[in-house]
Amino acid sequence: MLRVSVQVGGVWVQVMCDDSILHARQLGQSAIARSGRSLQGTFKLRRCVDGAPLSQDEAVRKALCNNDFVDLVMDGDAWSFPTGPVFAAAQTSWKEPAEYIALDGESLTTDDLVRLGKGLLKIKLTKEAEKKVCDSRAVIDQIIKENRVVYGINTGFGKFAQTMVSPDQLKELQDNLIRSHSAGVGVPLTPERTRMLLALRINVLAKGYSGVSMETLNAIVAAFNASCLSWVPEQGTVGACGDLAPLAHLMQGLMGEGLMWSPRSGWAPAKAVLEGNGLTPVILKPKEGLALINGTQMISSLGAEALERAQAIARQADIVAALTLEALKGTGKAYDKDIHAVKPQPGQMEVAFRMRSVLPSSLYPSEITGGDYERVQDAYTLRCCPQVHGIANDTIAFVKRILTTELNSATDNPLVFAERGITISGGNFHGEYPAKALDFLAIGVHELASISERRIERLCNPSLSELPAFLVREGGLNSGFMIAHCTAAALVSENKVLCHPSSVDSLSTSAATEDHVSMGGWAARKALRVVEHVEQVLAIELLAACQGLEFHRPQKSTAPLEQVHKLVRSVVGPWDKDRAMSPDIEAAHKLLREEKVSDLFTLKNYCRTSSRTLFGTISYFIMTVRY
């Protein structure tokens, strides 16, 4: 029998569509009766999943699916919970995944987490993880049975750690913790980022040191798999004692309180969303409230996205720089392998190799720079790409190691050690590791935009490029890339401020019991903003470099770089005369976000394969062009 959740004036009711309910009109009438309201005038219906209106004569079984959500308004009412563009896009693009990932608290990667955020995977737990969770819960149950005093189980929190709570108030203690700590502000996390946060918390709980019950953990996994996502404001964490506010909001929805979003319902009261998806609110047991909100998962999940995007743009930055070098008729001599062998920084050698692989060579000749090189040497922005891009790559590798460890760490307090039958209070919730690492990431990856903006200047400046001013004919009538360069400069300037490390700050909280904090939440959020700005600046350089090549026609560059030019021209035409630039920048940005530039090449063994040599650690790569 078809079950439909209908919202009537802010009240959600469930209607079982038996043989008496065949059309949308009958569905609406039944929902109004169940809500306790009386029908005055007419009413309208729309599907929550996409906002599509339902004709009252429409057959229910054709228009709706089981567990669908419908919004109903009567004359004088307004539609409830309007959905912003990010959430509307997430609703319409949602496809339930068929593939599962097994979480064990030991082996989650940043790439896995990003795929979970995109809704490409469902979650299941390994048998080993389930056993560890059960074993640690048994320790908590024994503590309660023996009425032992343990922080977070039968005491208050923070400054109230010395306050005992009676056995008949233990559930209320956990509920109050979640409610009081749901104190965040700001816009909610997007569906992708909320999925990442929830998936990462599940992974940490699966490690088996938190003391949650399998019943609760299974309920959280079921909510993830149904994409029932709580309202989580992005601001409010200081990064110790964990990401308390955002994780409390995450769990408040799972308790059936506050707001929740799902692809079927859009934003609605959490209890209605859960029930409409065949789920029931989580009922917290002793210790579980604390176990669910104590940890660095907000910092680490946002950091994982920043890291994966930084890694993708760093790969493509080398190709964009090579395209600019060709447009400016520079030389590839500065990328000679012997130069970099005597300064064997791993990232530097990676960048030099990648650029050599696409620049003019005996394998890939260029008609543009095939003659004699007339200058003594190129400017630093062209000559020093391996050294500048290289440290960004090495920083990314360092941050990846830190975050991968953090994703698979027990970060709450107290921790439960089942093999010893005890709980121990510690400080694994402190976010200093991911906070510092993400501050480093912002500083390191920013330099890709800083040097890119200077290359854009060289392309646009006729005294430096020997190309038409601002890369357009009929200058004066046309302004070309003049303001696109200004946009790049503005983004680089913003990054200079955003790169100030947040983790050098600390403010004492919780009446000085939490007297040093990491400020890692802001470190993660601003790292994401820095990475996005880097992507946008390199998108502008990609457009400018391709435009520069137009002035060398009919001469052709190397086969790999011509493939990049062809890719860009598939979404953005040449700049023959002035037009709105923003759509072109967005199209190029989309190519980079989707890694289309690097996808032109087959990268084998792209991740570092280390080999000890006289010069230290060297990474080997094989790059071939797809034809």
| Active site residues per annotation | 151
Which residue in 6, 62, 52, 63 sits closest to 29, CA to CA? 6
Phi, psi for residue 493 in degrees, rounded to 5: -65, -40
H or E segment and range at residue 315: helix 297-327
Other CB atoms within a 10 A radius of the CB of residue 385 amount to 28
Phi, psi for residue 615 in degrees, rounded to 5: -95, 0
Cβ proximity of 414 and 425 under 8 Å: yes
Q: Say if residue 241 is preceded by a cis peptide, omega within 30 of 0.
A: yes
- Cα(588)–Cα(512) distance, integer angstroms: 49
Cβ proximity of 49 and 264 under 8 Å: yes
Beta-ladder partners of 613: 616
- Cα(201)–Cα(213) distance, integer angstroms: 14
Cβ proximity of 361 and 559 under 8 Å: no
Cα–chain-centroid distance for residue 18? 43
Cβ proximity of 74 and 42 under 8 Å: yes
Phi, psi for residue 61 in degrees, rounded to 5: -70, -20
Other CB atoms within a 10 A radius of the CB of residue 579 amount to 10
Pairing of strands 43-47, 68-74: antiparallel
Instruction: Number of helices (H) and strands (E) in the chain: give both, helices first.
Output: 23, 18
Cβ proximity of 69 and 50 under 8 Å: no
Other CB atoms within a 10 A radius of the CB of residue 394 amount to 17
Other CB atoms within a 10 A radius of the CB of residue 452 amount to 29
Cα end-to-end span (Å), the chain: 54
Which residue in 569, 561, 538 sits closest to 368, CA to CA? 561
- Cα(152)–Cα(294) distance, integer angstroms: 11
- Cα(192)–Cα(229) distance, integer angstroms: 10
